[in-house]
Structure 1
């Protein structure tokens, strides 16, 4: 036997029990008394038992009705809870953002936290990763907005900032004189890696990649500990690093840029997030944006 109770019938049943008569229950439910009576009869047919004692002036639940009453209240309460939860979800808006790891961990996450606190109906789905992966995801619709690092010189991006690069060595354990030059790099096809190796090839400098990581913090530590030289944004240089120049025989590398990408028909919320992120990037030392 697969019995399914109708919540509408349970609602009428609880109303009659609470009112103790059909007339008051019908007024509470804004239904005719005959309609309420029909609902109770249908519920009793479903249960296969008599649920209300109508023999006296005051309607009372039978023994079976008393047992059903607790379940009915719980089922109706769960229904109300589900409706309320879905109502809140429908009012919320989820914004899908992509941020490079170094920018996210440095100063953008506090901005996003502030944004959430001032927009209680907004949920953020933030992904941190390599710029090439974030841009690829944005292009196929996985993100509403991304902040990426890209090659300078184009007009791709809503707002852009120059992001100069520098050769970094360990301040305590320099390896610049080693031959071949040991390198610390991001994974193949990651930013800066091909710039670094191609520039060294053009300069006739022998090199060898000794450490690879997709984590900026790991790259910074490896350089500081003397594993090798790395090419990073100058903003990523730490006191434990030494910034190398052409005087050490290393070629100058054209600057990259930081760019915000969102669609032309972006919602007001996306525009607000973009403005907050742009302000944070400006305050983080990347003034002089070249927004198109």
Structure 2
């Protein structure tokens, strides 16, 4: 019990503050003035600290006052402990990042324009932390309906009536610009045709199978990838063809797969539980980004034949 009390007194910031003030000013009197205490209070605090340490800390015969050998060893620790206390008090007293807005987004929606929107919003509202999760639309929508997200942007065939906004997402079939799937010799073509798809539950997967079968062509899944980037890389490498958002293909060596062409546009839909306050402010900004994004790639936009 006695040892525990001595350690507690040794770490008492009031005692450490008195000790460092004496060393900094070289005087009990000046230290008392700095800390707005009486000289007797300062003397008592140093006495308690020396009792806790078990050694004299101030060389009282020196002018100005200075630390003893033990005092020198303690001084660095004292300053660090006081700095940590000040840092902790500042952090706990600052409301920055104490309120969370949970956002779920299809991965290709998290682009530079959306990131700038988040950055601008965060500067205006330091108290808010944006928790952004990127993933597959069906899973994100399920989690939104379960209350795990405050805002969600998903891709779907038809938007629900409670959406805040919806925009068309042009889709088309793509193959590698360097390694075409079909062998363009004597009219031959790949049979069965290799597909690059998202895993089970992926948004475009069933639509891909239905379209290929409608074209009276056999197919198989040559590669399944869980992210849009990985699907595009697989198509770029010539593993197969895939149904993809036109907007997402610009930085990859892919080209439209002429036999299939474009598909019916998908809906990019924004949902939010709240319709007022700071959440609504953020939703309005996100909606503006989606509107500008849709204007760049309207449905039936003419596509270039190859990416350079």
Give TM-score, length-normalised by structure 2.
0.71
Given that residues 103 and 132 in structure 2 are in contact (C-alpha distance below 8 angstroms), is that contact kept between their aligned partners in structure 1?
Answer: yes
Equivalent of residue 75 in structure 1, options 58, 81, 103:
81
Determine whether 1:208 maps to 2:220. Answer: yes
Query: Deviation at 1:178?
Result: 4.0
In 1, are the aligned partners of 2:32 and 2:38 still within 8 Å (CA)? yes
Gap regions ≥5 residues in structure 1:
none
Change (3 A) 1:140 1:22: farther
Partner of 2:207: 195
Contact 1:144 / 1:262 at 8 angstroms: preserved in 2?
yes
Equivalent in the alignment of 2:44: 38
Greater shift, 188-197 or 270-279, is seen at: 270-279
Alpha carbons of structure 1 residues 137 and 266: separation in structure 2 relative to 1, 3 Å? farther
- The alignment status of 1:260 with 2:263, answered yes or no, reads no
Question: Is the contact between residue 161 and residue 287 of structure 1 (CA under 8 Å) also seen in structure 2?
Answer: no
> Which segment is superposed worse, 90-99 or 10-19?
90-99
1:280 lines up with 2:289 in the alignment: yes
Task: Tell me which residue corresponds to 1:242.
Answer: 256
Indicate whether 1:103 and 2:130 are aligned: no
Moved more, 131-140 or 275-284: 131-140
What CA distance in whole angstroms lies between the structure 2 residues aligned with 1:51 and 1:240?
74
Mapped pair 1:65 → 2:68: no
- Report the CA distance shift for 1:266/1:185 in structure 2 as closer, same or farther (over 3 A): farther
SS where residue 172 of structure 2 aligns?
strand
Structure 2: which 5+ residue stretches go unaligned? 183-187, 299-308
2:297 and 2:247 mapped to 1: Cα distance? 15
User: 1:198 and 1:12, CA in 2 relative to 1: closer, same or farther beyond 3 A?
Assistant: same
CA deviation digits over 1:11-43, x for unaligned, max 9? 112223434444433332223343333322221
**Contact 1:199 1:253 survives alignment (8 Å):** no
The reply to whether residue 13 of structure 1 matches residue 16 of structure 2 is no
1:149 offset after TM fit, Å? 0.8
CA deviation vs aligned residue, 1:121-140 (integer Å, no higher than 9, x gap): 36544333222233344445
Q: CA deviation at 1:212?
A: 1.6
The corresponding residue for 1:29 is 35
- Rounded to whole Å, the distance in 1 between the matches of 2:263 and 2:228 is 19
Q: Secondary structure at the match of 1:24?
A: helix
Match for residue 91 of structure 1 among 89, 93, 96:
96
* Higher mean C-alpha deviation, range 233-242 or range 276-285: 233-242
- The answer on whether the counterparts of 1:116 and 1:123 sit within 8 Å (CA) in structure 2 is no
Partners of 1:150 and 1:156 lie apart in 2 by 14
Q: Distance in 1 between matches of 2:191 and 2:157?
A: 29
SS in 1 for 2:141: helix
* TM-score w.r.t. length of structure 1: 0.74
Aligned-residue CA RMSD (Å) = 3.8
